[in-house]
Structure 1
Amino acid sequence: MSRKSIPINGLCFDKDGTLFDFATTWEAWAAAFLLRAAEGDTAHAAQVGQAIGFDLDKRKFATESIVIAGTPQEVTATIAPFFTHMSEAGLLEMLNEEAALAPQMPAVPLVPLLTGFRAAGLKLGVATNDSEAPARAHLDGAGVTGLFDFIAGYDSGHGGKPAAGQLLAFAAAVDLPPEQIVMVGDSTHDLHAGRTAGMRTVAVLTGGAVADQLAPLADVVLRDIGEIPAWLETQ
Structure 2
Amino acid sequence: MIEGVVFDKDGTLFDFRQSWGVWTAQLLQQLAQDQAHADALAAAIGYYPAQQDFHPDSPVIAATAEEISAALLPHLPGHTQPELAARLNALAQHAVMAPAVPLRPVLGALRDRGLKIGLATNDTEAPARAHLTAHGILDLFDFVAGYDSGHGPKPGPGMCLAFARATGIDPARAVMVGDSAHDLIAGRAAGMRCVAVLTGIAKAEELRPHADVVLADIGALGAWIDRLADDS
Answer yes or no: same fold by TM over 0.5. Answer: yes
Kindly provide the CA deviation profile for residues 71-108 of structure 1, in whole angstroms up to 9, marking residues without a partner as x.
11110111111112112222112211221121111110
Q: Is 1:164 aligned to 2:150, yes or no?
A: no
Give runs of aligned pairs for residues 135-146 of structure 1, distance below 5 A: 135-146=128-139
In the alignment, what sits opposite 1:81? Answer: 74
Once superposed, which parts of structure 1, at least 4 consecutive aligned residues long, lie more than 6 Å away?
A: none
Q: Say if 1:32 and 1:98, in contact at 8 Å, map to a contact too.
A: no
Q: Say if 2:119 and 2:143, in contact at 8 Å, map to a contact too.
A: yes
Say which SS state the counterpart of residue 68 (structure 1) adopts.
helix
In the alignment, what sits opposite 1:49? Answer: 42
Kindly state the Cα deviation for residue 34 of structure 1 after the two structures are TM-superposed: 1.2
In the alignment, what sits opposite 1:31? Answer: 25
- Provide structure 2 residue ranges, at least 5 long, that are not aligned to the other structure: none
Q: Say if 1:12 and 1:182, in contact at 8 Å, map to a contact too.
A: yes
User: 2:131 and 2:84 mapped to 1: Cα distance?
Assistant: 20
More displaced 10-residue stretch of structure 1: 73-82 or 51-60: 51-60
Kindly state the Cα deviation for residue 134 of structure 1 after the two structures are TM-superposed: 0.9
In the alignment, what sits opposite 1:92? Answer: 85
TM (norm. structure 2) is: 0.96
Give runs of aligned pairs for residues 72-221 of structure 1, distance below 5 A: 72-221=65-214
* Aligned partner letter, 1:221: V
Q: 2:218 aligns with which of 192, 212, 225?
A: 225
- Provide structure 1 residue ranges, at least 5 long, that are not aligned to the other structure: 1-6
Kindly provide the CA deviation profile for residues 48-92 of structure 1, in whole angstroms up to 9, marking residues without a partner as x.
110110022332211111111111111011111111211222211
- CA-atom RMSD in angstroms: 1.0
TM (norm. structure 1) is: 0.94
Say which SS state the counterpart of residue 6 (structure 2) adopts.
strand
* Aligned partner letter, 2:8: D
User: 1:229 and 1:90 mapped to 2: Cα distance?
Assistant: 41
Share of identical aligned residues, percent? Answer: 53
More displaced 10-residue stretch of structure 1: 88-97 or 206-215: 88-97
User: 2:23 and 2:91 mapped to 1: Cα distance?
Assistant: 6
